[in-house]
């Protein structure tokens, strides 16, 4: 498998991947979110990684900039993440997450947030129990998790998260 940062020409395959992975109910919304985030200046700095199996797009993830109480604290949020239906349960998602975290650490970021299934994301080191308020009220607060990219990065840090404009929209929460 090959991992690299996405380029503008990947956009149609990225949209198709999210439509496929998230299915009829959510696919169109998440695909549009991915495309919009890639173009949203308020999402910068942004890391968008694609995984290829042979010549087929197998997975995609975006890490985009957030602020906390209006401040840049070196934090980002991981969303969306998707792996093509035929490629799931083969470690693609895990590799995208691990590689993304390593790149972000090298770039000096301190914290990554995610809203997702705790059963999956706790495997990568994300945990609830931090002090960040989400942009909107959540149906499942235990799905709102954080990961420190450096020892102690979460200590004493609190406040309300604001994401990129397109991701801050209530439909995504």
Ligand X SMILES: CC(C)(COP(=O)(O)OP(=O)(O)OC[C@H]1O[C@@H](n2cnc3c(N)ncnc32)[C@H](O)[C@@H]1OP(=O)(O)O)[C@@H](O)C(=O)NCCC(=O)NCCS
Give the interface with ligand X as residue ranges (CB under 6 A).
21-22, 81-83, 88-94, 116-117, 119-120
Find out whether 77 and 168 touch, Cβ atoms under 8 Å. Answer: no
Find out whether 163 and 68 touch, Cβ atoms under 8 Å. Answer: no
Of the pair 124, 154, the CB lying nearest ligand X is at 124
Cβ at position 41, least distance to ligand X in Å = 25
Of the pair 117, 142, the CB lying nearest ligand X is at 117
Cβ at position 109, least distance to ligand X in Å = 20
Of the pair 116, 159, the CB lying nearest ligand X is at 116
How far apart CA 22 and CA 25 sit, in angstroms, is: 7
Of the pair 43, 61, the CB lying nearest ligand X is at 61
Task: Tell me which residue has its CB nearest to ligand X.
Answer: 93
Burial of 103: CB neighbours in 10 Å, binned 0-12, 13-18, 19+: middle
Q: Which residue, among 85, 77, 149, 143, has the nearest Cα to 115 in the 3D structure? A: 143
DSSP class of 85: G
Residue 117 structure tokens: 């299934």
Cβ at position 25, least distance to ligand X in Å = 11
Cβ at position 156, least distance to ligand X in Å = 28
Burial of 130: CB neighbours in 10 Å, binned 0-12, 13-18, 19+: middle
Of the pair 43, 62, the CB lying nearest ligand X is at 62
Cβ at position 69, least distance to ligand X in Å = 25
């Amino acid at each position: 498998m090959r991992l690299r940062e996405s380029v503008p020409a990947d956009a149609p395959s990225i949209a198709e991947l999210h439509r496929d992975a998230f299915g009829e109910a959510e696919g169109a919304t998440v695909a549009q979110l991915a495309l919009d985030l890639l173009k949203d200046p308020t999402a910068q700095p942004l890391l968008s990684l694609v995984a290829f199996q042979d010549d087929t797009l197998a997975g995609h993830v975006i890490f985009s900039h957030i602020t906390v109480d209006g401040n840049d604290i070196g934090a980002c949020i991981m969303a969306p993440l998707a792996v093509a239906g035929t490629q799931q349960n083969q470690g693609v998602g895990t590799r995208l997450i691990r590689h993304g975290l390593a790149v972000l650490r090298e770039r000096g970021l301190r914290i990554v947030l995610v809203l997702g299934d705790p059963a999956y994301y706790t495997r990568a080191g994300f945990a609830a129990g931090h002090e960040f308020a989400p942009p909107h009220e959540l149906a499942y607060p235990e799905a709102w998790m954080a990961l420190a990219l450096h020892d102690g990065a979460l200590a004493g840090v609190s406040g309300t998260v604001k994401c990129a404009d397109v991701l801050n929209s209530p439909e995504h929460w």
